[in-house]
Structure 1
Amino acid sequence: MPLLKLAKHQLHYQVDGPSSAPVLVLSNSLGTTLQMWQPQMAALSQRYRVVRYDSRGHGASTATARCRLADLGGDVLTLLDALDSERAHFCGLSMGGLTGLWLGAHAPERLLRLAVCNSAAKIGDSEAWRQRAAQVRSEGMAALAASAHQRWFSADFCAQAPDTVAQARAWLAHTPPDGYAACCEALAEADLRADLPRIATPTLLIAGEYDPVTTVAEAQTMAAAMPNAQWLALPASHLSNLEAPRAFEQSLLAFLDAD
């Protein structure tokens, strides 16, 4: 289990694929782990050196008392430095997608192509994030995990794929409350809407047709504000790479292989 030891925390990561291939970094959503990308790994690792990591405070990556979006983006840059990777493709979902937007705004020289999935430049309501952080710090993750499937997946998918739904809920249930809460507080502060016009990296914005969290309309708004972005919608809710794995994989590969 590779661990990158930093000043105040450690970052768990995994590398798959040919060492000579272009690097592709995958960034997980809030309340999941690097395992969320497993459905795409067989295809992605044939063409890319795929670097997955657990976001700060998730999985086997330790938490810090305070976390900002710049910290999440900085973790990616530190990981790339540790792997001697000057530039990489980046694909993130939800919180991972917002991390990608931060990189596009603040470290564009490190990016080749950027995929921002089921995300937005400002996700949700700031006060709601702060309330959720306080809730999990006082009550733990059980109540949140019990209802997560209603936000993450469509009702039809929940009925058709109970094992996938159960696995996703387990990731959330086992996320350390302090790590989850710190990231909620980072999302409460994060707002990159004013930065979108200067993100010139070729960008794919993937939305879920049934996503109640980050909508198709938000992807369209971002695409209109960014100089080199395109958007598409998949028949899925919030965790689109799990609900529509093959369509997600094909769309991502077509975008990354466009060069």
Structure 2
Amino acid sequence: MTEITIAGEAFNVRLEGDEDKPVLALAHQLGGSLAVWEPLMPALLEHFRVLRWDSRGHGGSVANEGPYSVAQLARDAIAIFDALGIEKADWLGLSMGAIVGQAALIAAPERIGRAVLANTAAKLGTPDIWNDRILAAREEGLEAMAGAVAARWFTQEFREADPEAVEAVLFILRETSPQGYAAASAALRDVDQREAIRSIRNKVLVIVGRHDPSAPPELGAFVASAIEGARLATLESSHISHIEQPDAFVEAVIDFLTAPEAPARRPAAARKAAGRRARQRIARRAPIKAPAKKATAKKTAAKQAQRRKAPAKTTAAKQGAPKKARVAKTPAKKSAAKAPVKESAAKKAVVVKKRAATKSPIKSAKSKPAATKKPAANAVARSAGKKPPSISRAARKPPRRR
């Protein structure tokens, strides 16, 4: 433990870990102390030099008459940085400690690196709720409040499963000065940072407990939505999430605080200006091809005109083609049906003689041309020195049966 005096007021402070590691500042909840972070210290010290202190009105720090303000509590934190020669530190705050962290990010963003704000809100509760707690703390003491506080801070399942962890946190609450608790409660009653947090540009992670009645998850979700680029993580816990879900809590915190820096994006106006300059450079380098464009336009017009005319011709051709095909195919089918299977010239002559001898009723007009035309055609072909026309494949093959 180290006692630091700031403007004549004493603060209980502890700074631990390797001096070469980045500093992480831990700010506790209302009714807590720096001891509430003890279960997380082994994991955090692997990555950070850890700074803890008892907030004004709590633990071993000054507990003067209030009321306090959240801005005053944030100034206390920055004054502790100065006293220890810490130029900049990351921030991990729980409940009241996260609300004080918001105020530090607003007032002195250059002194804070990344910030984890757990189980928090920009405005928490109503004046009536806080006035009742202030009155109860002053008149009844924190021992009488412990049972109701435990029901808000931890789920029933956790209270039954790990009563020792719950009792350790409640012990710190009971040891808190009633005057200091009441003065800090007044600070939370009066604070409203719902608009001011929109100016925060630091990297922020907001952690909420799904079963938290003290700082319902929708209040934390609002903080994450109001801070540009902030992330939101939800744990299956109540208000004191780092005790109820320590593994998930530590993993979320360390992953966020140690993640490598992403390359900074230029503002939108700068990106647009760069885009315009690039387009201008491309336009200056591109060759001018206006004549080619005109020729292309003429060719396109000619093609379009041909396409407009082509359908009419094609349609006419399509309409006429079937008729011609039918006319041409009909005799072919008849002749193919009547075409005799391949016969020798001697057989044909015998058939003709038999028909003439028996006085066949078949007219000579159908038989004689077949006998007389072929030799004439062959004779003409021989005189011209050409071979006689061969029979087509269709004529040589027998007709197909249907």
Q: Following the alignment from structure 1 to structure 2, what is the Cα–Cα distance between the partners of residues 234 and 45?
A: 23
- 2:253 is aligned to 252
- 1:102 is aligned to 103
Q: Contact 1:9–1:63 at 8 Å: present in 2 too?
A: no
TM-score (norm 2): 0.63
- 1:37 is aligned to 37
Measure how far apart 1:7 and its partner are: 2.7
TM-score (norm 1): 0.97
Q: Contact 1:17–1:48 at 8 Å: present in 2 too?
A: yes
Where 1:101 maps in the other structure, the secondary structure is: helix
Q: Following the alignment from structure 1 to structure 2, what is the Cα–Cα distance between the partners of residues 181 and 12?
A: 19
Whether 2:118 is the aligned partner of 1:112: answer: no
- 1:243 is aligned to 244
Percent sequence identity is: 36
- 2:76 is aligned to 75
Measure how far apart 1:13 and its partner are: 1.1
Q: Following the alignment from structure 1 to structure 2, what is the Cα–Cα distance between the partners of residues 144 and 184?
A: 14
Q: Contact 1:126–1:187 at 8 Å: present in 2 too?
A: no
Amino acid at match of 2:79: T
RMSD, matched Cα: 1.0
Note the 1:79-158 alignment, pairs <5 A.
79-158=80-159
- 2:48 is aligned to 48
Q: Which has the higher contact order (CA 8 A, sep 6+)?
A: 1
Whether 2:222 is the aligned partner of 1:199: answer: no
Q: Following the alignment from structure 2 to structure 1, what is the Cα–Cα distance between the partners of residues 134 and 219?
A: 24
Q: Contact 1:26–1:51 at 8 Å: present in 2 too?
A: yes
Task: In structure 1, list runs of 5 or more residues that go unmatched.
Answer: none
Q: Contact 1:8–1:64 at 8 Å: present in 2 too?
A: no
Q: Contact 1:56–1:63 at 8 Å: present in 2 too?
A: yes
Measure how far apart 1:6 and its partner are: 2.2
Where 1:156 maps in the other structure, the secondary structure is: helix
Measure how far apart 1:111 and its partner are: 0.8
Which structure's residues are more often strand, by fraction? 1
Larger Rg: 2
Residue 64 to residue 8, structure 1, CA distance change in 2 (3 Å): farther
Task: In structure 2, list runs of 5 or more residues that go unmatched.
Answer: 261-402
Note the 1:221-240 alignment, pairs <5 A.
221-240=222-241
Task: Spell out, residue by residue over 1:105-161, the C-alpha distance to the aligned partner (whole angstroms, 9 max, x if none).
Answer: 111010110110001001111221122112211221111113221000000000000
Q: Segments of 4+ in structure 1 off by > 2 A?
A: 6-9
Q: Following the alignment from structure 1 to structure 2, what is the Cα–Cα distance between the partners of residues 232 and 126?
A: 28
Amino acid at match of 1:256: L
Whether 2:22 is the aligned partner of 1:22: answer: yes
| Count of aligned positions | 259
Q: Following the alignment from structure 2 to structure 1, what is the Cα–Cα distance between the partners of residues 198 and 72?
A: 22
Amino acid at match of 2:33: T
Q: Following the alignment from structure 1 to structure 2, what is the Cα–Cα distance between the partners of residues 33 and 195?
A: 27
